[in-house]
Amino acid sequence: MSLIFRRILFVFLLGLTATLVNGVARAQSAAMPSPHRTIRLTSQKITLPFGDKVFAGDGKIVKVTNQHCLLCHSRGMIDTQPPLTLDTWKKEVDKMRTAYGCPLRADQTAEIADFIAHAASAPAPNGN
Amino acid sequence: MEALVNPTDYVNAESPAPSTSGPLPRRSFLKMTAGLIAGGILGRSLPAFAAKLIQLPFANGSRQLVRFPQKGEMILLRQRPPLLETPFEVFDRGVFTPNEQFFVRWHLPVIPTSIDVNTFRLRVDGHVRTPIELSLKEILRQPQIELAAINQCSGNSRGFSSPRVPGGEWGNGAMGNALWTGVTLKSILDRAGVLPGAVQVRFNGLDTGQMPETPLFMKSLDLDHAMDGEVMVAYGMNGTQLPMLNGFPLRLIVPGWYSTYWVKMLSHIEVLDKPDDNYWMHTAYLIPDTPGGTMAPDAKDVKMVPINRLVPRSFITNLRDNATVRRGVPIAVRGIAFGGDTGVKSVDFSSDGGTTWQNAALGKDYGRYSFRRWNATFVAKQPGDYKLMVKATNSNDLAQPATPTWNPGGFMRNVIEQVTVHTA
């Protein structure tokens, strides 16, 4: 099982428990008056999309990219970039590793940057 | 303090009911921030069949129009964490941006999707006499203030940068104006008692990274700024509670400063006795230390500083590029303007590409941090193209520049805007 799908399964189980707990919390949401303009604050609960679109293909580099570049943001972050040079993509991948903790080795940067530079120049129309 | 606003003066639909389903498909991808008041359910991607596409006017500017929970139709930039842009026509409808279509901008993917108003606490600690935890009830009991202020992303209009730069590729819709209701930050800091030697105040929200290595999204203000009586902790936006994606239940409001400081789901205020060197202050969100934050793309060794005050901007909102106009009759042109960190002094309009300018009429003043409506007319006497331009000057006599700002972050664009129309 890929890293990303193991994560999803894990959070699914946590989430099940969470839904039960939340059901109770919501029932007691209180209205609270304020002295001048009355702003009522009531407990909130929403559902957010995950944005699970991956890069298509089954080469090793596709897999490595899907496992690493979609961990912290959906593919839309990549697909909506302007045309960037390979050098800029290398800097971006390095930034993801060093500034944000993308679990890649330094020697994987060039290969991923090269793949992304081509994949991102042909974004799907419903980018997410 | 800024003028109070008559609630009937602003465009604001009813706050939507707390939504558990929303228009998004739910599926069993569930995600939970264990231990928090927050539990989150993550559906999968938005349905492709519902896709309505629009094209922002730059390379790779194709975008979907989508609806997220508690939000109306928005331009999708990224699903996780959400980046949603306000469709530009919304700015023609009034100077206050409806909550449902106020832009959305998160950095970190683990965002609480449920908040319990009874258990939520705002923590204040660090270099203070008494660390405190305030409930929403306690905050609502404090003296209330209201202020109209523009919240504009540092990178609003980044997609127009030339040469292009990586980042969130927004059109002009990563901004909005709202009437904010809340309490002064000063009143909260006073409750904890700031100790001598304090220099900055740092803000953190409930969002966190997917990887522990990702720096928490924290921003800081100098102590004097934090205590100025205008920086506020808001629980109201256009007369109702904030949408979750705009920072429910509490958001920091920093009038006249870029949105990066307006921390959402504000949960922790920390008084610092030395300047903040965290990533989001020290490495990200830096601008060249030059007038207007601009530099040459090939300049080297430019001194960089944290982004700060807004600069003036103005837009034509009722005529789009390429629109057709009638010849020989007065044509009404209108739009919005803002001064940035101070009010609008004047707005000038040109229908001949900037050769001659006329003073536009200014609409009601909602305070110096608000959008201001402007109106002008022109007559297209000859057949052909008309290049319409609009330029704001603020009360510090700072005017919009004729050449676009450039910096590596794609921040602070405020060039004079233009729209070309032609006669029928």
Interface residue A99 vs chain B (CB under 8 A): yes
Instruction: Walk across the sheet containing B417-423 and list its strands.
Output: B324-325, B417-423, B385-394, B344-350, B358-359
Domain locations in chain A? 1-35, 60-120
Domains of chain B: 7-284 (3.90.420.10), 313-423 (2.60.40.650)
| pLDDT over 50 at B204, yes or no | yes
pLDDT band per the 50, 70, 90 thresholds, residue A26: very low
Tokens read off for B179: 């009437």
Q: For tokens 């400063």, what's the residue?
A: B257
pLDDT for res A120: 72
Q: Which of residues 70-109 of B touch A (CB under 8 A)?
A: 70, 76-83, 108-109
Tell me, yes or no, if B54 comes closer than 8 A to chain A by beta carbon.
no
User: Of A37, A79, A101, which is closest to B181 when you measure between CB atoms?
Assistant: A37
Q: What does the pLDDT look like over B84-130, one tens digit per residue? A: 999 999 999 999 999 999 999 999 999 999 999 999 999 999 999 99
B333 contacts chain A (CB < 8 A): no
Q: What is the mean pLDDT of chain B?
A: 90
B45: which residues sit within 8 A by CB, 6+ positions away? A49, A50, A51, A52, A53, A74, A128, B79
pLDDT digits (tens, 9 = 90+) for A42-65: 999 999 999 999 999 989 999 999
What torsion, rounded to 10 degrees, do the Cα atoms B118, A40, B69, B233 define?
Answer: -80
ipTM score for this prediction: 0.88
Whether residue B249 is preceded by a cis peptide bond, meaning omega within 30 degrees of 0, is yes
From the candidates B32, B121, B278, which should be mutated to test the interface with A, based on the most A CB atoms within 10 A?
B32
The model's confidence at residue A119, banded by pLDDT at 50, 70 and 90, is confident
Q: Could A128 and B79 be called an inter-chain contact, meaning their C-beta atoms sit closer than 8 Å?
A: yes
Confidence of residue B50 (pLDDT cuts 50, 70, 90): low
Per-residue pLDDT reduced to its tens digit, B399-409: 999 999 999 99
Smallest CA–CA distance from A81 into chain B, residue: B166
For B235-277, how does the pLDDT look when each residue is reduced to its tens digit (9 = 90+)? Answer: 999 999 999 999 999 999 999 999 999 999 999 999 999 999 9
Taking the C-alpha atoms of residue B26 and residue A46, their distance in angstroms, rounded to an integer, is 11
Q: What is the mean pLDDT of residues B307-331?
A: 97
pLDDT at position B44? 56
Instruction: Name the architecture of domain A60-120.
Output: Orthogonal Bundle (1.10)
- pTM of the prediction? 0.87
- pLDDT score of B86: 98
First-last CA distance in chain A: 23
pLDDT of residue B2: 35
